[in-house]
Amino acid sequence: MKEIKSVKAPMIAGISLILMAIAAFFSYGYVHSSLVINGEPTTTLTNIQESIPLFTFGILGWVVIILLDIIVSWAFYVVLKPVHRAYSLLAAWLRLIYTAILAIAVSHLVIARNIILDSADLMQTQVMTHIQAFESIWSIGLIVFGLHLLAVGYVALKSVQIPKILSYLLVAAGISYTAVHLLHSFFPQLESTTNLLEAILSIPMFVGELGFGIWLLIKGKKLTD
Mean pLDDT highest for which of 29-38, 197-206, 215-224? 29-38
Number of H helices, E strands in the chain: 8, 0
CA dist., res. 6 & res. 11, Å (int):
10
Instruction: Give the pLDDT score at 42.
Output: 86
pLDDT of residue 6: 62
pLDDT band at 121 (very low <50, low <70, confident <90, very high): low
How many percent of the chain have pLDDT more than 90? Answer: 71
Number of domains in the chain: 1
Q: What is the largest CA-CA distance in the chain?
A: 62
Residue type at 141 in one-letter notation: G
Q: What is the pLDDT of residue 4?
A: 41
Where residue 75 falls (left for φ over 0; alpha for ψ -120 to 50; beta otherwise) is alpha
Band of residue 123 on the pLDDT scale cut at 50, 70, 90: confident
Q: Which residue has the higher pLDDT, 218 or 142?
A: 142
What DSSP state is assigned to residue 120?
Answer: S
Write down how long the chain is: 225
Among 134, 129, 122, which residue's Cα sits nearest to residue 32?
134
Q: Which of 20-34, 40-54, 170-184, 197-211 has the lowest mean pLDDT?
A: 197-211
Domain extent, residue 105, equals: 2-224
Amino acid at 136: S
In whole angstroms, give the CA distance from residue 149 to residue 143: 10
Q: What mean pLDDT is reported for the chain? A: 90
pLDDT surpassing 50 at residue 220? yes
pLDDT tens digits, one per residue of 9-41: 999 999 999 999 999 999 999 999 999 998 888
Lowest-pLDDT range of 5-9, 77-81, 125-129, 198-202 = 5-9
The pLDDT of residue 165 is 94
pTM exceeding 0.95: no
Residue 1 has a pLDDT of 40
Query: Where do the H-state alpha helices sit in the chain?
Result: 2-24, 33-35, 41-50, 52-80, 85-118, 124-158, 164-186, 191-219
